[in-house]
Amino acid sequence: MAHGTSGKAGLARIAHMDRIRIVGGNELNGIIPISGAKNAALPLMIASLLTSDTLTLENVPHLADVELLMRILGNHGVDVAVNGRRERQEDGYSRTIHFTCRTIVDTTAPYELVAKMRASFWVIGPLLAREGQARVSLPGGCAIGTRPVDLFIEGLEALGATMEIDGGYINATAPKGGLIGARYVFPKVSVGATHVLMMAATLARGTTVIGNAAREPEVVDLANCLIAMGAKISGAGTSTITIEGVTSLSGARHRVLPDRIETGTYAMAVAMTGGDVTLENTDMALLDTALESLRRAGADVSPTNNGIRIMRNGGGIKPVDVVTDPFPGFPTDLQAQFMALMTRSSGISHITETIFENRFMHVQELARLGAKISLSGQTARIEGVEKLKGAPVMATDLRASVSLVIAGLAAEGETLVSRIYHLDRGFERLEDKLTRCGAIVERISD
Ligand code: UD1
């Protein structure tokens, strides 16, 4: 298997001690290809557990989280085939990968693996639907909040499953004859719980109606793939999803949708540095709210044939208030990046985080670069400064870490970002993509 960044060993291992060095001050100009969405690829890969046929996914981003999930799925009996160069796309980024789970050999997802990536908990849905049982470790704590699993438990219980917590694991058992379709309204919007309930319901007896479902594009992408596999699903993308259970699913070929968070991240980087960049293989419709906020901040945003052109030529960055919300609201996964942008605005802006209670760890690090930010509850008040100054900073989570890169691109002098394994979880070849547009960004291996 070819590896994008070094070709030596597993992404997660090699990147552990790496740092990113940025020399700020350059505009971004050029073309950035956008990868397949991590947050779609993960549930799509997990959907391969629902069928004994091959599920082929195109445009799978080359990321540490994807590699880890391949290992996790391998434990359950999924054969993963990456066909090297022949199957790679022209630009050499995302790949086509074949997943085949003839039989499920193990219905246990162990703590050591689930603790590394919360989304691996989602195997609980397909395992339960196909095998009638699953033993899955609780995900444990997470840097950006408590992130409980109550909604998964309640939702699967609604389909007739018995859910017992035992020694840090959930033992889930379907009734004899399999899960039973039901109506369930989520008390709170959850992307992961919507994915899981939708997957589980595809093989349940009868009809399931999910109310207050997440409307994220990744939910729609998963539904489209499941439909190609023979599932009967309608309403994905609205808050009511209806799934009519079928007895089995087949294989399919599906292309992972573009990564809207990566798209928004680079759009914010351009708004920050100034310049003119075309983001290719992506779609404005995936991130209307975030792009509207960027326009208000002073960027020009326009559609191209297969992507988005983003420009800021002269003119400063205007202060804009945002509040994160489930889709179609402003995504929490772009909150840190937008805050980085606002540190250089010409006034005072406020950013309110409503999805995760502890997602402001980037504030302290941005302050090291000279940002003026104060926190009051779930709201950050950002007073724009004339200039940021490079400094050593530490990545704390996936999206926070890229906000430091954005700030570093506009800071005077050198910024060194450590703990960048967080970045490798979610951004494919970040330094290549930025360097191609004129930034000075390099990976330093100690
Ligand atoms: C997904 C995304 C993540 C994004 C988040 C919100 C993936 C792999 N990850 O995470 O990048 O930031 O959506 O857009 O797609 N909650 C409960 N009980 C539950 C489940 C969730 O209270 O059983 C809470 C969470 O703590 C959080 C909120 O619901 O406060 C939303 O979380 P959720 O949508 O489930 O996030 P993820 O699916 O984990």
Q: At what angle do helices 38-47 and 191-202 cross, to 10 degrees?
A: 30
pLDDT at residue 38 greater than cutoff 70: yes
Band of residue 3 on the pLDDT scale cut at 50, 70, 90: very low
Distance CA(319)–CA(384), nearest Å, equals 8
CB-based contact 297:317 (threshold 8 Å): yes
Distance from Cα 144 to the centre of ligand 1, integer Å:
10
Tokens 């994807």 -> residue: 66
Residues near 166 by beta carbon (within 8 Å), at least 6 away in sequence: none
Q: Kindly state the average pLDDT of the residues 378-385.
A: 97
Taking alpha carbons only, the member of 439, 429, 404 closest to residue 275 is 439
Taken as a whole, the chain contains a residue count of 446
Ligand 1 pocket residue status of 138, Cβ below 6 Å: no
Ligand 1 pocket residue status of 150, Cβ below 6 Å: yes
pLDDT at residue 1 greater than cutoff 60: no
pLDDT at residue 83 greater than cutoff 90: no
Band of residue 9 on the pLDDT scale cut at 50, 70, 90: very low
- Counting Cβ atoms within 10 Å, is residue 108 exposed (0-12), middle (13-18) or buried (19+)? middle
Band of residue 10 on the pLDDT scale cut at 50, 70, 90: very low
Please tell me the pTM assigned to this model. Answer: 0.94
Tokens 């093989």 -> residue: 203
Ligand 1 pocket residue status of 190, Cβ below 6 Å: yes
Band of residue 18 on the pLDDT scale cut at 50, 70, 90: confident
The atom number, within ligand 1, closest to the CA of 399 reads: 11
Band of residue 47 on the pLDDT scale cut at 50, 70, 90: very high
CB-based contact 189:332 (threshold 8 Å): no
pLDDT at residue 331 greater than cutoff 80: yes
Ligand 1 pocket residue status of 119, Cβ below 6 Å: yes
**101 among known catalytic residues:** no
Lowest mean pLDDT across 77-91, 258-272, 379-393? 77-91
User: What is the pLDDT, as a whole number, of residue 341?
Assistant: 98
Q: What is the mean pLDDT of the chain?
A: 92
Q: Kindly state the average pLDDT of the residues 422-438.
A: 93
Closest residue CA from atom 8 of ligand 1: 39
Band of residue 14 on the pLDDT scale cut at 50, 70, 90: very low
CB-based contact 133:172 (threshold 8 Å): yes
pLDDT tens-digit series, residues 156-187: 999 999 999 998 899 999 999 999 999 999 99
